[in-house]
Amino acid sequence: AQSVTQLGSHVSVSEGALVLLRCNYSSSVPPYLFWYVQYPNQGLQLLLKYTTGATLVKGINGFEAEFKKSETSFHLTKPSAHMSDAAEYFCAVSRSGGSYIPTFGRGTSLIVHP
Amino acid sequence: GAGVSQSPSNKVTEKGKDVELRCDPISGHTALYWYRQSLGQGLEFLIYFQGNSAPDKSGLPSDRFSAERTGGSVSTLTIQRTQQEDSAVYLCASSLGGSGRGSKTQYFGPGTRLLVL
């Protein structure tokens, strides 16, 4: 079984401030982890993913996430928020092999204030 | 185009009518997923197709929902006798499938916004 918890349905930051979106997962096997972003009236777009290897992964638009096995976390960060980062962010967990269906968190809405 | 496409982009229907939603996945992607996204909610898995295998229908909420995938490509999600609680955005995604590191990355379509009056 696998599950994803995203802490905070809404996160509000000022432009230029650090962005931190939290994601904790549970998985009975080594996970594949993803962050997706959804802009208004659009589908989801992959930001970054962790499969194996380096635990700090960099994605598009200056975002990065670190896989911490001991904490079962995969938090998303960006050093300096931009107004264009305002969107819904989803964390997802899957696993290698077979036909395992990804499990998504409920999403975190990022609000960026000028 | 190279991405996942869905049609229609918006659909307004009356309660009790049937609707069909279409998804064109990325060429060569063997895996196809349907999700439902209600206002303020996360993604609710509906159904999953992988190649020629029997689909995983475990997420379908009732027998009013069904889906098929013809020729391993285009998929149609059908909702019969629509209810107001069916109003949502229906998202389709495809992926390469298989077990490689890139196999699980999903590519999403823009969604179909369904409103049942």
Chain A / chain B CB contacts < 8 angstroms: 62
Report DSSP state, residue B92: E
Chain A residue with minimum CA distance to B5:
A43
pLDDT tens-digit map of B32-54: 999 999 876 788 999 999 888 88
β-pairing verdict for A108-113 and A10-14:
parallel
Question: What pLDDT is stored for residue B102 in this prediction?
Answer: 65
Question: What pLDDT is stored for residue B99 in this prediction?
Answer: 64
Query: Do residues B74 and B57 make contact, with C-beta atoms less than 8 angstroms apart?
Result: no
Distance of CA B86 to the CA centre of its chain: 13
Choose the mutation target among A39, A44, A104, A109 for the interface with B, i.e. most B CBs under 10 Å: A44
The mean pLDDT of chain A is: 91
pLDDT tens-digit map of B53-68: 889 999 999 999 999 9
Distance between CA atoms of residues B110 and B29, nearest Å = 17
pLDDT tens-digit map of B12-22: 999 999 999 99
What distance in Å separates residue A26's CA from the closest CA in chain B? Answer: 17
**Is A84 an 8 Å CB contact of chain B?**
no
Indicate yes or no: CB of A34 within 8 angstroms of CB of B56. Answer: no
Percent of chain A's residues with pLDDT above 90 = 73
